[in-house]
Chains A and B, each alone.
Chain A
Amino acid sequence: MVSQSHDSVSHTCGHTHPDGHVCWGGGGDASTHHHRLEVSNLRVTYREVLALDHIGFATECGRSIALIGPNGAGKSTLLKSLAGLIPADSGSILWRGKPLTRSSHEIAYLPQRGDIDWNFPITVRGLVEMGRYPNLGWWRSFSSHDNEIVERALAAMNLHDIQDRQISALSGGQQQRTFIARALAQEAHVLLLDEPFTGLDKPAQENLSKLFRELTREGRLLIASHHDLQTAPKIFDGLLLINRSQITFGTMNEAFTPEAIASAYGEK
């Protein structure tokens, strides 16, 4: 676990570009944006199968990107690879100009809800507190500052009243919010979410997409795999379309075209 001192990053990230400055695909001025995620020519082999090839895009804080592609397109692999869980064969992932693994507490990975053991003996608050561990290291105890951050994360995700509940006693939407609150407690800049909307009912989906908009407005970068083509343009402002290799990347308006979708989902 990395224990790093705080710098000004957590504050600058988020309030620097409410102006809507667009720098999709390297079109913006990279030098003025320190909080950029740059992926170039990524190639990943997973379990001896080439899972991803020719993935390259650049984006920054304050965006929400839908990662879309058919089943087996490599969405989860890409998220895991961005989170540093699966090593890349070649290519690079730079966060703020450095290889991403070196800033691990700035990246939060949120697995699919189906991958979680919801019977684990932990409460909502306990799970959110886990977000502080990278900052605390292995032994340091919670300070009032840590508690304050946990409180804020719980409040932001509207979990205060259910903070003592065991995590299996939550609805799908509450479970997802608990995970996001953990990422907030971690003071993550980048949230990598694997199918966060899957299994949520309509109101919970709407609630979550509202929270997504708030998180990006605060300046966080959200990248989420998503399988519902209908709802994607309403929730996200960017699109990364893949099927083993990258089909397209851009703003929802530019990139979400019938041709691109057909190319990703069509017969190969």
Chain B
Amino acid sequence: MTNDETSSQAPNQQMILATTLSDCLAEPIAQRALLACLMIGFANGFVSAFVVLQKSALKIGTLSHALLPGIALAVLVAGLTQWSALAGAVFAALMVGLGSLFLSRTSRLDQDTAMGILYTTAFAAGLLILTKLDIRQQLDEWLFGSIVGMADSDLWIAFGISAVAVISLIALQRPLLIYLFEPNIAASLGVPVRLLSYALFGITILVLISSLQAVGCILSVGLMVAPAATVYLLTNNARTLFWGGGIIGGLGSVAAFFLSYPLGWSVSATIIVVLGGFFVIAYIFSPRYGLFSARRR
């Protein structure tokens, strides 16, 4: 089929799609959403490298669920504002993180078990509070995200968090890499291991919170694990892992934004599905660590 034939066959359809897309992009709401996708996707992808290297994906999943009751509690106490939600989320993450540590130290339970109990209980309590508060439509947004509903201030918060996270991680990359590779070697070299693990935890929580609006607390784990997990199957270089994770996270989120529009899908779910798709492709076709190359090795 020649180009002429294609264009003569479906000129209308293409034009409609193009105009509606460009119309849509002319809207500030869509512009903000697109920018948010890029920023949040990149920052989460960047951080995902450290989550993958630390093998803390499940811990992040737990914490992301714990953010919901924190936000609910903040709404109950101080009303719904950006800052109250942020403070509530940080508070909840700390409570579950430190609470599980405390539980495991003061009982015979291990920390994973303690976390499992704490976060589900907190999550359930959060659901009850949010239902009671009668802000049902917002409940959905916290659970599954609503990137099209972002205001300018949301965008600035996301930008601030992303910038702080990426710059801190770049600044700390040397000690962080030794620490993630082998904490004992790091400590023997004088790396302040405990301080570094708290810093990494803090950065992860912040970035997790910034992604809540885009993908919600249930899907946020995907955004914070899938990008680097994909690159992990392609590289032997830790630096490639975090830059690649950032690029895959940003690219995947933007691609999902454009995909979700004509298909009428939810942006947050599309982001996670696209990133999951990237991962599957890498898993099967990675020249080094893919399904097919495994046989050769």
Interface residues of A (CB under 8 A from B): 1-2, 80, 83-85, 101, 104-105, 107-109, 111, 115-117, 120-123, 126-127, 130, 133-134, 136, 138-139, 166, 186
Contacts and interface: CB of A to CB of B under 8 A. Distances in A.
Given A121-B241, A138-B172, A116 B232 contact: no
Given A138-B171, A138-B174, A111 B236 contact: no
A109 B185 contact: yes
A136 B178 CA distance: 14
A2 B188 contact: no
A111 B183 CA distance: 10
Contacts of B174: 1, 133, 136, 138-139
A19 to B, nearest CB: 31
B181 A120 contact: yes
B189 interface: yes
B184 A109 contact: yes
B127 interface: no
A123 B171 contact: no
Nearest to A2: B190
9 contacts: A1-B190, A84-B187, A105-B189, A109-B184, A111-B182, A121-B235, A122-B181, A138-B172, A139-B174
B283 to A, nearest CB: 15
B238 A122 contact: yes
Contact of B188 (A104, A117, A138, A139): A104
A126 B237 contact: yes
B190 A121 contact: no
B202 interface: no
Given A116-B181, A120-B181, 8 more contacts: A83-B184, A83-B187, A101-B190, A109-B188, A117-B182, A121-B240, A122-B237, A127-B181
B238 A115 contact: no
Given A115-B184, A138-B172, A166-B236, A130 B177 contact: yes
A121 B189 contact: no
